[in-house]
Amino acid sequence: MFIKRAWIIVLLYLLTAGFNASLLAQAPTVSASVDKNKILLGEPVLLTLEIKAPPGSKIQPVKIDTLPHFEFLSKDSIVKDSAEGQLILRQYFRITSFDSGRWAIPPIVLNAEAKTASVLMDVVFTEPFDPSQPYHDIQDIRSIPFKLGKQFEKWWYMIALLLIMMTLVVYVMTGEKKPRAETKAYKSAYTRAKQQLAELKKAQVPESRFYARLVEILRAFLSERARVNSLQQTSGDLVEKIKPLFNDGQLYQSLAQVLSLCDLVKFAKYDPEDAEARSAYEVIDKGVDHIEEGIRNAAKLKKDEDRRTEMIHKK
């Protein structure tokens, strides 16, 4: 009796279990998946919607028009497939988001029993900075071998030839003219000063102009020959600057007095005697000669000194 009842229970159980299993096998299932769970703003993501159902099932297509925080970029048509005796309907959506934050793709409902789980998605503004990572260039520096285009090769030959020619021309020009230019400057400062002094002596100019011109000639000569920025020096400063150029103390004193006299004429409308003008002229003239001689002697001495030093070094 007991065995009979147990058999009935087992039989009933097997019957109900088989019925339930057949029922479950017939219910369609739906799932949603994404190819990545973290995107930058505007970065596309592939959303795959997959429905599995028994063959011959009538499945109403799922209409997804909007997803909160997401935009649809494209919708592919539904692809039919079958596997393990089941019908598989697959649809791909390309979506993106322009809202940064953590958003969920809500469950997509096929029917009351079949719906997807919600999919979490992080939408970030930028990749977070990881201070623990070593610094590196945005892109590794690549070495690219230099290759000259064939069309330029002949030009390179031309440029090289031109450069050689230019170097030769410059060498010929400077190599010969450099010492000449020095001699010219050296001579011209002195000769020009003397020439200008001679012209001033002959010219009939007002006294104020005569003295101003006298100082101008001296200043220009000093500027060029003695490398003294005499044009920007006051008479007092100039007298101090030219002191080392004079061995003759008396001439130096006279020159200082003449410069002072010139200041009087220029700035205080002083009217000097003719004799003073002649004397001032002579002092400036002698001063120019003296400075020129001093500079020549100094240059000669330096040359001798250099030669002597060279000989000592050779020995």
Partner 1 sequence: MAKTGEEIRQLNEKIVGAGYFVDALRQEIGQVIVGQHHMLDRLLIGLLSNGHVLLEGVPGLAKTLTIKSLATAIQANFNRIQFTPDLLPADVIGTLIYNQQQNEFVVRKGPIFANFILADEINRAPAKVQSALLEAMQERQVTIGDHTYKLDDPFLVLATQNPLEQEGTYPLPEAQVDRFIMKVIVRYPEMQEEQLILRHNVQGEKLPPIRPVVNVQEILDAKSLVREIYLDEKVERYILDIVFATRYPGRYQLEKLAPLISYGASPRGSINLALAGKAQAFLNKRGFVIPEDIRSVVYDVLRHRIGLTYEAEAENIAAENIIDEVLKAVNVP
Residues in the site for partner 1, rule: CB under 8 A?
229, 231-237, 263, 266-271
Pairing of strands 29-34, 71-75: unpaired
Contact criterion met (CB below 8 Å) for 88 and 107: no
Give 96 or 208: the residue with its C-beta nearer to partner 1.
Answer: 208
d(CA 153, CA 208): 70
**Smallest distance, partner 1 to C-beta of residue 268, A:** 4
**Smallest distance, partner 1 to C-beta of residue 149, A:** 42
Give 115 or 213: the residue with its C-beta nearer to partner 1.
Answer: 213
**Smallest distance, partner 1 to C-beta of residue 232, A:** 6
**Smallest distance, partner 1 to C-beta of residue 239, A:** 11
Give 68 or 236: the residue with its C-beta nearer to partner 1.
Answer: 236
Per-residue tokens: 148: 């000259």
- Cβ-in-10-Å burial (0-12, 13-18, 19+) of 284 comes to buried
d(CA 124, CA 39): 6
Pairing of strands 38-40, 71-75: unpaired
Give 30 or 258: the residue with its C-beta nearer to partner 1.
Answer: 258
Give 236 or 244: the residue with its C-beta nearer to partner 1.
Answer: 236
Give 48 or 257: the residue with its C-beta nearer to partner 1.
Answer: 257
Contact criterion met (CB below 8 Å) for 130 and 76: no
**Smallest distance, partner 1 to C-beta of residue 266, A:** 6
**Smallest distance, partner 1 to C-beta of residue 236, A:** 5
**Alpha-carbon 214 to chain mean position:** 54
d(CA 193, CA 290): 13
